[in-house]
Amino acid sequence: MTLTTPVASADSAAAIVPVELVVLDMAGTTVVDDGIVEQAFERAARRSGLASTRPLEESLQYVRDTMGQSKIEVFRYLTRGDEDAAHAANTAFEAAYAELIDEIGVDPIAGAGDAIDALRASGIKVALTTGFSPVTRDAVLARLGWQVDAALSPADAGRGRPAPDLVLTALMATGASSVASVVVVGDTMSDMRSGRNAGAGLVVGVTTGAHNREQLEAAGADVVLDSVCELASLPQLAAR
């Protein structure tokens, strides 16, 4: 099975570029969130003292608005550029998230594991990207037991979303030949902007996470699905 994305050729006719890589977000796209990020943030804000310097609900709203972005960058904003405070809050967040996945567990979005397996079985590389640190990312993946071709955090790529770095690093890590051969899938506006900024051949939103259809379309989604398990049904990704 070959999946393809249409791109403009030099003579403006539609050319077909085989899809070589699908870049999937984690929390909210392939992994159930169920508010765990907000819960971890609230614990971290209280433990690190952030809740005493800025109203907690105001901070929580910023976390919601920036879902998908690098967590350390979120904390840099909330601590008003205080690097020590940002790192302390981020460390507290990572510890709180680890506690919560022990208490609550980690569940895949229904059908996500099968979708990943189907893509890889067809010869398409799959990369998972996240705003979490490598430690948190790897703890989640260990619980899920998924096999992928790359798993990347902002620490691996340079900048987090909405910069293109995670997508471009995934391309290089997997050996994909062009950005036109890459499909980016995510549940946040930052995911959509990252895909657009990278020049991905197709940018797909899913409504299983932080942002709704209208927000994803406004941020640049080419198409919005109800779930990642619907990827194979896309006309743009039809078997050929």
Per DSSP, the residues of 24-37 read EESBTTTB--TTHH
The three-state secondary structure class of 89 is helix
Half-sphere exposure of 55 (CA within 13 A, CB side): 4
Please choose, from the candidates 196, 163, 228, the residue with its C-alpha nearest in 3D space to the C-alpha of residue 26.
228
**Per-residue pLDDT, 208:** 94
CA dist list (Å): 25 to 79, 92, 190, 205: 26, 23, 10, 10
Give pLDDT, residue 173: 97
- What's the gap between Cα 26 and its chain centre? 5
pTM of the shown model: 0.83
Domain boundaries, the chain: 4-32+107-237, 36-103
The Cα 152–Cα 173 span in angstroms is: 10
pLDDT at res. 240: 37
Which tokens in the block code for residue 140? 């989640």
CATH class of 4-32+107-237: alpha beta
Looking at residue 109, the DSSP 8-state letter turns out to be: P
The string of pLDDT tens digits covering residues 28-87 is: 999 998 788 889 899 999 999 998 888 999 998 998 888 877 888 889 999 998 999 999
Task: Write down the residue that tokens 């490598």 correspond to.
Answer: 134
The percentage of the chain sitting over the pLDDT mark of 70, rounded to a whole number, equals 91
Helix (H, G, I), strand (E, B) or coil at 120: helix
Side by side, the strands of the sheet bearing 182-186 are 150-152, 125-129, 21-25, 182-186, 202-206, 223-225
Q: How far apart are the first and last CA of the chain?
A: 6
DSSP state of 31: B
pLDDT of residue 178 exceeding 60, the answer is yes
